[in-house]
Amino acid sequence: MNTVFQCIVFLAVLVSIGISGGLSLAAPQDKPIVMDEVVVTATRDTEEIRKVPANVSVITAEQIEKSGATTIPEILEKLESIQFRSYSGNASQSAMDMRGFGGDNPFGKTLIMLDGRRLNRPDMSSINWLQVPLNNVERIEVVRGASSVLYGDAAIGGVINIITKKGDGPPKFNASVIAGRYGLHDERVSVSGSTDKWTYALNGENNYNS
């Protein structure tokens, strides 16, 4: 009788160990794969940001949305070493200072690009910062420090590349109105989307300052 009882206890222990072992051998849950952020402005080629030999900042669309900013100067001014000053309260003609490269001719010292295309004017006059609706910006890449080897003499202070969103799916419409002092008003409208063969993004703006 004792022998039978001992066998039953022994089997019960084995079953218990087997169950607990089975639980412990369950396959671990898959962990999400986090991809390294990449930039294109610093080296003019796709590069992981941690491998870029430059001082680079990236502002994402999510950060823009959470910031509450309404213009590109407002979101850029949240970064270190970048300041803006507007003339007559006109945000569209704000002058920029980046790492001390500002003064009377800031747009001859820092290169501003839109999707990799130069926005700086030949006469080095102010850029219209309102020509790109902030809600149409996918990301902004900021490279601090001299980049003249890659981008020419206009990039002494650094480079700012504004990358816009690409159309995707059914048409999406956006419209906004900005008003300010001295008769300033700015109306903007945009539409973007895609078809089987094409993507499109159109922006229109009407700006006036008396």
Give a yes or no: residue 97 inside a domain.
yes
Give a yes or no: residue 190 inside a domain.
no
Give a yes or no: residue 124 inside a domain.
yes
**One-letter identity of residue 36:** D
Q: What is the pLDDT of residues 37-56, one digit of tens each?
A: 555 554 444 555 555 555 78
User: In the numeric block, which tokens belong to residue 105?
Assistant: 């001719």
194 or 102: which leads in pLDDT: 194
User: In the numeric block, which tokens belong to residue 63?
Assistant: 């950060």
Give a yes or no: residue 157 inside a domain.
yes
Give a yes or no: residue 79 inside a domain.
yes
Q: Which residue has the tokens 């941690």?
A: 50
Give a yes or no: residue 135 inside a domain.
yes
Question: Nearest 5°: phi and psi at 31?
Answer: -95, 145
Length of the chain: 210
pLDDT grade for 169, boundaries at 50, 70 and 90: confident
Give a yes or no: residue 142 inside a domain.
yes
- CA nearest neighbour of 94 among 80, 115, 110: 110
Give a yes or no: residue 8 inside a domain.
no
Runs of H (alpha helix) within the chain: 2-24, 61-67, 72-76, 148-151
Counting the structural domains of the chain, the total is 1
3-state secondary structure of 125: coil
Q: What is the CATH number of the domain that holds 125?
A: 2.170.130.10
Which domain range does residue 92 map to?
Answer: 38-166
